[in-house]
Amino acid sequence: MSLRFHQQRIVAALSLLLTACASMIPPAATRQEPAQITTPRAFHEAIDLGGRLSVYYQRNNNDEALHGSFAWRQDTTQTTITLLSPLGQTLAIITATPGGATLTQAGQPVKSATDVNMLTAEMLGWPLPVADLRGWLQGFAIDRDGRRFTATPRNTNVTTQDGWQLRYVNWQNETSPSPQERPKRIDLARYTEQAGEVSIRIVIDTWQAH
């Protein structure tokens, strides 16, 4: 056989080998679409919330616990909180405005003060930071260094300027009018001279922004 014939056979064999190798190369991976980005959460001045509340504190060196539900309504000028027993009885109604606060309990005269947080601590026997919860319930706070904090499912813990430790435990998705993640359960903890170690668990079941 001629040299040229051998060269042609070699070229043909190489062509077959390259074809076979090409068929063995896996197809390119399908390009994945990026995960949907949720809309940044906005602060709402006017909201109605409903949910459950559990409080653990100390009174006269004895452990105390309170369980129930709550209704929360706020707008630009007023915040109103109704605390309810597990059976739905009204335990207290707290109203706060820029000019002061009132607290009403069944069978007792209405109490008033200029500072709603001081009023609730005095009358309830445990601190309920109403003024701060306007932002905390929506995932916004000021940390111990005076910086703005926005909670997310990946950024859940903060200690505030007045010593409250906040932990955003669970979240819920809001699909309308735009995708957002909102706090579902918030745990608060702080030591106080009045009530010892205080732990408050808030679970938000209903949410309506205005």
Q: Name the burial class of residue 174, with classes exposed (0-12), middle (13-18) and buried (19+) by CB atoms within 10 angstroms of its CB.
A: middle
pLDDT surpassing 80 at residue 14:
no
pLDDT surpassing 50 at residue 17:
no
Q: Where residue 178 falls among pLDDT bands split at 50, 70, 90?
A: low
Tens-digit pLDDT profile for residues 119-149: 999 999 999 999 999 999 999 999 999 999 9
